[in-house]
């Protein structure tokens, strides 16, 4: 199974349901959406700038034809609203803690998706400061 999310409580429910419904021996993969940057404000800014269109629920996205339609549909999405859709933190220790919690739920692999445009910084920081702590 492949699922996406960042909330440990919600993901625990999904894992439990999958295991009970016949997935006891099958692998479970998680795509973790996150926003990391050097500072807290930048992490939040990048999340809002790059990911706010993904907070649209239901079939709304199917009805939007132009980029301006997406802008209009998300005009009331505030940066702080992004915490509902992504794990946002500038602190490597916070990411380490969240990844440990998620790994403890029984995921076989966790794919990290940093939504910001700072991919080189993200890769370097996580390679040096986050992933070694999880081995």
Give pLDDT, residue 4.
95
54-87 pLDDT per residue, tens: 888 778 888 899 999 999 999 999 999 999 999 9
Q: What is the CATH number of the domain that holds 60?
A: 3.20.20.30
Q: Which helix (H) or strand (E) holds 111?
A: strand 109-114
Predicted TM-score (pTM) of this structure: 0.90
Q: What's the rounded Cα separation, in Å, for the pair 60 and 2?
A: 23
Q: What confidence score (pLDDT) does residue 63 get?
A: 86
117 DSSP assignment:
S
Domain around 76: 2-134
In whole angstroms, what is the distance from residue 112 CA to residue 99 CA?
A: 10
- Specify the number of domains making up the chain: 1
Going by the DSSP 8-state scheme, the letter that residue 40 receives in this structure is: H
User: Are 77 and 48 within 8 A, CB to CB?
Assistant: yes
- For 3, which DSSP code? E
108-121 pLDDT, tens per residue? 999 999 999 999 99
């Amino acid at each position: 199974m492949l699922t996406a999310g960042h909330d440990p409580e919600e993901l625990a429910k999904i894992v439990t349901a999958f295991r009970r419904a016949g997935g006891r021996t099958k692998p479970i993969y998680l795509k973790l959406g996150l926003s990391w940057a050097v500072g807290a404000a930048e992490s939040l800014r990048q999340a809002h700038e790059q990911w706010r269109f993904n907070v649209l629920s239901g079939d709304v996205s199917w009805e939007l034809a132009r980029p301006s339609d997406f802008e209009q549909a998300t005009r009331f999405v505030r940066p702080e609203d992004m915490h509902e859709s992504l794990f946002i933190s500038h602190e490597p220790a916070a990411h380490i803690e969240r990844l440990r919690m998620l790994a403890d739920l029984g995921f076989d692999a966790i794919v990290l998706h940093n939504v910001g445009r700072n991919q080189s910084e993200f890769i370097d920081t996580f390679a040096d400061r986050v992933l070694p702590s999880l081995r």
